[in-house]
Amino acid sequence: MREVRLNNGVMMPPVGFGVYQIDKNETKAAVLEALEVGYRMIDTAASYFNEREVGEAIRESGLPRESVFVTSKLWVQDYEYDDALRAFDRSLSELGLDYIDLYLLHKPYGNYYAAWRALERLHKEGRIRAIGVTSFSNERLQDLFLHNEIKPAVNQIETHPFQQQKDANAFLKAEGIVHEAWAPFAEGQKGIFTNSVLTEIAASHCKSVAAVILRWLNQRGVVVIPKSIRADRIRENFNIFDFRLSDAEMAAISALDEKKSPIYDDMDLATVRAIGTYKIHD
């Protein structure tokens, strides 16, 4: 999978650069490095507090605006209709852009129906090229697009060898919605980089475990947005098209699925309370 066509015809790169948990003081350099290596998609969010530095890096890179696919996300605090419109303007102004390529509802909590209608309006006004969601279960996603006009183009969900999201992948494929993986490396949990199945496959291709994971996701039709602040890893995570995993290797990785998150469960009560009420501004 080299490029992805979204359900409204917009083209999306298969590999992007995630900037979650990158300190704002390190963001510009990391994004500049990624753009230099060849990444043409950056994934940020209002709640990452580094949209400004992402925008600065894009401008400083000298690349034409239309050659970089920019994703940002609306936080739950701003899910009422008018709040969502205001929050979008804030993100745009932080980024220093006049449109966003992909704008996502960041969590499946709160008044996401009102928020979705605000996104539909912004999309119709040409200020967002495609709209989508993150961390939505199949059921919530199905309900959302049954009761609204525009079907989400993307669902960005935690996906890695220990939480493979096979049911979600099948549903999203059937509905023509792109499956995008967050935390492709499980944020380093559970010894993912020293897992014996993954290290063996990596050694046989002279690639890193990280590259094997990203290639495995790509061969499943999943868009990836790995994060790193290290130049060598930023490069390594981008070079995933010079090898191919066999069916047997795909099956061996498939068998690692534990079907649960080592990071957090979005439907856990404590998570719903904590994340659902987290404020990112006054």
Give whole-number Cα distances, 196 to 201, 202, 255, 256, in Å.
9, 10, 13, 11
If the CB atoms of residues 179 and 227 are measured against ligand NAP, the closer one turns out to be 227
**Could you tell me the smallest distance in angstroms from the CB atom of residue 147 to ligand NAP?**
22
If the CB atoms of residues 109 and 182 are measured against ligand NAP, the closer one turns out to be 182
Give whole-number Cα distances, 72 to 100, 123, 189, 276, in Å.
7, 14, 25, 18
Positions 107 through 146 that interact with ligand NAP (CB under 6 A): 134-135
**Could you tell me the smallest distance in angstroms from the CB atom of residue 215 to ligand NAP?**
12
If the CB atoms of residues 14 and 226 are measured against ligand NAP, the closer one turns out to be 226
Q: Residue 39, interface with ligand NAP (CB under 6 A)?
A: no
Of the residues 228, 249, 253, 275, which one makes contact with ligand NAP according to CB under 6 A: 228
Q: Which stretch binds ligand NAP (CB under 6 A): 57-65, 95-103, 199-207, 229-237?
A: 229-237
| Rounded Cα gap, residues 12 and 10, in angstroms | 7
Angle at 30 between CA 226 and CA 161, to 5 degrees: 10
Positions 192 through 221 that interact with ligand NAP (CB under 6 A): 193, 208, 210
Q: Which of 48, 79, 103, 112 is catalytic?
A: 48
Position of minimal CB gap to ligand NAP:
18
Q: Is 48 part of the annotated catalytic residue set?
A: yes
Q: Residue 72, interface with ligand NAP (CB under 6 A)?
A: no
| Rounded Cα gap, residues 31 and 17, in angstroms | 8
Q: Are 281 and 77 in contact (CB under 8 A)?
A: yes
Contacts of residue 239, defined as CB under 8 A and 6 or more positions apart, other chains included, come to 211
Q: Are 74 and 84 in contact (CB under 8 A)?
A: yes
Phi, psi (deg, nearest 5) at residue 41? -145, 130
**Could you tell me the smallest distance in angstroms from the CB atom of residue 85 to ligand NAP?**
21
Q: Which stretch binds ligand NAP (CB under 6 A): 7-15, 121-129, 225-233, 254-262?
A: 225-233
| Rounded Cα gap, residues 156 and 222, in angstroms | 10
Q: What is the binding site for ligand NAP (CB under 6 A)? A: 18-21, 43, 106, 134-135, 156, 182-188, 193, 208, 210, 225-230, 233, 236-237
User: Catalytic residue numbers?
Assistant: 48
